[in-house]
Chain A
Amino acid sequence: MHKARRNPANLIAMHGILILYTCIALFPVFVILINSFKTRKAIFREPLALPGADSFSLIGYETVLRQGDFFGYFQNSMIVTVCSLFFILLFGAMAAFALAEYRFRGNTLMGLYLALGIMIPIRIGTVAILELMVSTGLVNTLMALILVYTAQGLPLAVFILSEFMRGVSDDLKNAGRIDGLSEYMIFFRLALPLVRPALATVAVFNMIPIWNDLWFPLILAPAESTKTLTLGSQVFIGQFVTDWNAVLSALSMAILPVLILYVIFSRQLIRGITSGAVK
């Protein structure tokens, strides 16, 4: 291990591969970003060229900001994503804690039942979900989306978190019990801080699909006031004409908040991955 690390040839090869992969992964994002600052003609003439003096244009951003309530969409996406993540992490961690901590009849069965959702895509139930939302009057509310995304994210969250919850020292929890902490306090004050890296992992896994989802916003909340960013951007994509400037600008702006959330979580993520290794 140490020898491999010091060997310069290996070092170069390793970094070469990583840099190459980074370039491949970032290339589409890069293309979207540069083209969002170009005129329509320039986009089609030379898609890979950087915006120059004559091709530079902010027309895309102007269109996006002028047409439709872009900040409203933005806000909707943010509310839906953050609330869903909050509920997924809260309820997922609670279920995981119960599964890991308490002995009760059917514990294993309950764990399997909760994990079943990983294998069954929630979209199969779209019609039933829509009927449910109609009869409860939740159609065209952000609540409908939050509920669906929470349900969608819980199985994986419970699965991952219960593994980590099992790793929390029993002695620590028992010490809390002897010191008079309630089970809720043990959960919130002792267990949760210790599984923070796992929480960050679950958050990252769930955040991006929720932010990017088009399916459920389109079906459950297509009203102007509840449109999410992804759905809002669709107005620029027509059957015959697509306003590429606007689409690319909308996408560029949509990257930002996810990026910020990711940076917040990823510090925990990396800490979680390395915490076991460097003890």
Chain B
Amino acid sequence: MTALNLSNICKSFGKVEVLRDISLTVEEGEFVVFVGPSGCGKSTLLRVIAGLEDATAGTVEIAGERVNDVPPAKRGIAMVFQTYALYPHLTVRGNMALGLKQEGQAKDVIEARIAEAARMLHLEPYLERRPAELSGGQRQRVAIGRAVVREPELFLFDEPLSNLDAALRMNTRIEIADLHRKLGATMIYVTHDQIEAMTLADRIVVLRNGIVEQVGSPMELYNDPVNRFVAGFLGAPSMNFLPGHVLGKAAEEAGIRPENLRIEESGQLAAEVTHVEHLGGDTNVLVRIESGEILTLRLFGQHAHAVGDSVQVGFDERDVYLFDKDGARLR
């Protein structure tokens, strides 16, 4: 069944067009990630789905019902915010209970759901604490718990990990993935972090300037980007772009991923090492080729290259992506 259907959504603030003609279908149980640089309209799109903003044009359907004129609380959604947005004057229990009380649920139902969510998110010891007495990671788990207890048709996450530090971010990411597996619920997740997008999503929606650039599974997007923007946005370190003629191509621009470059005697490009990053598992090597461009190489394992070394950089022809002058992919 279709969990969410957006058709021709437009949104403008005054004269500024933030979303342009966005159509998208999300199937039940899918984990869809909206990703894009800041200002691309991904959060606005999420807020339109939530009902916090009204679309200027187009229709939003949740579980087959048109919800354009339905207030947020009646749309069968729950949302997790970047800043957690916990009610500061309520305990963890109170935070989770508020939405259910407003729905008019019976006391024992509320208690049971809170107990279940607290067990799932390891929040049992903190139920009587206030948000101010919790750490960032705990607060975000409470915010997720507040969404879980409502048993919504649709979970909306608005950059939920941005305020957490790196270690916690990875743990919470895994928890969210776990949660998705356990609940089997439909989730829509907004982030500017392509690693979160790649690791969590069943499908990624890449947005730029209010339009959808490409929709597909993480590997589809990674291996077969439709344009230069998608190719450059996904992958870390990001793809190297060179003028086409440097590689002897007729195209305006050629792109090649850092892991597809290697240092070898028979390499096609002569280059000089300008910087080396030793990450232990990987080594990132930055080199300047003869035409002056800097390329990033990602080598597996540990390599003893030093700044100033002369090297030959090699690659396979099939790993080169070609783009025309508007950035569209040439195949």
Contact = CB atoms under 8 A, between A and B. Distances in A.
Interface of A: 169, 171-172, 174-181, 189-190, 193-194
B83 A190 contact: no
A109 to B, nearest CB: 16
Contacts of B88: 193-194
A278 to B, nearest CB: 13
B52 A179 contact: no
Given A171-B82, A174-B81, A175-B79, A180 B103 contact: yes
Contacts of A178: 50, 52, 72-73, 77-79, 99
Nearest to A185: B102
Of B50, B89, B102, most A-chain CB atoms within 10 Å: B102
A178 B77 CA distance: 8
Given A169-B85, A174-B81, A179 B99 contact: yes
25 contacts: A169-B85, A171-B83, A171-B84, A171-B85, A171-B158, A174-B50, A174-B52, A174-B72, A174-B85, A175-B79, A175-B86, A175-B146, A177-B51, A178-B72, A178-B73, A178-B77, A178-B79, A178-B99, A179-B102, A180-B73, A180-B102, A181-B98, A190-B87, A193-B88, A193-B89
A172 B79 CA distance: 11
Contact of B99 (A169, A180, A194): A180
B85 A172 contact: yes
B83 A169 contact: yes
B71 interface: yes
Contacts, number: 58
Contacts of A172: 83, 85-87
A129 to B, nearest CB: 40
A171 B81 contact: yes
A171 B89 CA distance: 16
Nearest to A194: B88
Of B51, B98, B103, most A-chain CB atoms within 10 Å: B98
Interface string B239-262: 000000000000000000000000
Contacts of B79: 174-175, 178
A175 B146 CA distance: 10
Nearest to B13: A103
B261 to A, nearest CB: 42
B123 to A, nearest CB: 17
A174 B98 CA distance: 14
Interface of B: 47, 50-52, 71-74, 77-79, 81-89, 98-99, 102-103, 146, 158
Nearest to B104: A180
B81 A175 contact: yes
B89 A179 contact: no
Contact of B73 (A171, A179, A193, A194): A179
Contacts of A180: 73-74, 99, 102-103
A172 B47 CA distance: 14
A120 B82 CA distance: 43
**When A and B form their complex, which 10 residue pairs have the shortest distance between CB atoms, in order from nearest?**
A180-B73, A180-B102, A179-B99, A171-B85, A175-B85, A171-B81, A172-B85, A171-B83, A178-B72, A177-B72
Of A172, A176, A177, A179, most B-chain CB atoms within 10 Å: A179
A190 B81 CA distance: 16
Given A172-B87, A193-B89, A194-B88, A177 B73 contact: yes
Nearest to B78: A178
Contacts of A179: 73, 98-99, 102, 146
A194 B90 CA distance: 13
Contacts of A169: 83, 85
A189 B47 CA distance: 23
A107 to B, nearest CB: 12
A172 B52 CA distance: 12
A169 B158 CA distance: 14
Contacts of B74: 180
A177 B47 CA distance: 12
A172 B158 CA distance: 13
A268 B86 CA distance: 22
A100 to B, nearest CB: 16
A64 to B, nearest CB: 44
Nearest to B99: A179
Nearest to A176: B87
A181 B99 CA distance: 8
A105 to B, nearest CB: 11
Nearest to B96: A179
Nearest to B102: A180
Of A180, A190, A193, most B-chain CB atoms within 10 Å: A180
Nearest to B97: A179
A168 to B, nearest CB: 11
A2 B146 CA distance: 42
B51 to A, nearest CB: 8
Nearest to A174: B52
Nearest to B50: A178
B102 A177 contact: no
Contacts of B99: 178-180
A183 B50 CA distance: 16
B254 to A, nearest CB: 43
Contacts of B89: 189, 193
Contacts of B84: 171
B327 to A, nearest CB: 34
Contacts of A176: 87
Contacts of B85: 169, 171-172, 174-175
A174 B78 CA distance: 11
